[in-house]
Amino acid sequence: MTIRSPIKHCRNCGAAVVYRVPDDGDTHERAVCPACDTIHYENPLNVVGTVPYLGERVLLCKRNIEPRWGKWTLPAGFMELGESTAEGAARETHEEAGAQIEMEGLFTVLSVPRVGQVHLFYRARLLSDVFDPGFETIEARLFTQDEIPWEEIAFRTVRETLERYFADRARGHFGVHAFDIL
């Protein structure tokens, strides 16, 4: 399935674009400007976040925005230009939960082609159990594995990440998990 957000006009000169395979050896249909020959690439968005933990508990945020208002999620959001994936994950954790963390390793990389996104979650050790959630979060709270409201988790990427986190913790070794959500 090809996800296309229609580009109608060239960002360089304003002319109407056409969709075709460029003459440069490319193999994908792209938005091409017939006036200035600019090729406009459409690439996936990166969603970055953390699995913040304190002892045996993880921090979840209750969403105050759509989609999935009122559901629980890990602190995460869209990566900004000029930041690394780890910087973006730390920023989102601070913005959404007001949590103080120490970043650890990359934990999951989840490709979600249906919506044109790649989700990257890092493990992050909480330095405190005091939170100051931002406007996107109704509540930030710590949960043990048994306390997690599994039926109220907002996104499959979050559920998959949490399941792998608890499985790795039980094994006593954290790996990096990469997979597709189809």
Give me the pLDDT at residue 24, please: 79
Q: Which token pair is 146?
A: 């048994």
pLDDT, averaged across the chain: 96
Residue with tokens 């963390």: 101
Residue with tokens 């304190």: 54
User: What's the pLDDT tens digit per position in 38-89?
Assistant: 999 989 999 999 999 999 999 999 999 999 999 999 999 999 999 999 999 9
| 136 pLDDT higher than 70 | yes
112 pLDDT tier (thresholds 50, 70, 90): very high
Give me the pLDDT at residue 1, please: 47
Q: Where exactly are the structural domains of the chain?
A: 1-42, 45-180
Give me the pLDDT at residue 3, please: 57
Output 50 or 24, whichever has higher pLDDT. 50
**For 45-180, which CATH superfamily applies?**
Nucleoside Triphosphate Pyrophosphohydrolase (3.90.79.10)
Q: Quick one: average pLDDT of 132-161?
A: 98
Give me the pLDDT at residue 25, please: 85
Among 73, 75, 68, 67, CA closest to 48:
75
- pLDDT > 70 fraction of the chain, expressed in percent and rounded: 97
Taking the C-alpha atoms of residue 45 and residue 26, their distance in angstroms, rounded to an integer, is 21
Give me the pLDDT at residue 5, please: 66
Give me the pLDDT at residue 23, please: 85
Taking the C-alpha atoms of residue 165 and residue 174, their distance in angstroms, rounded to an integer, is 8
Q: What architecture is domain 1-42?
A: Single Sheet (2.20)
Output 6 or 36, whichever has higher pLDDT. 36
Taking the C-alpha atoms of residue 74 and residue 97, their distance in angstroms, rounded to an integer, is 9
Task: Decide if 119 contacts 44 (C-beta within 8 A).
Answer: no
6 pLDDT tier (thresholds 50, 70, 90): confident
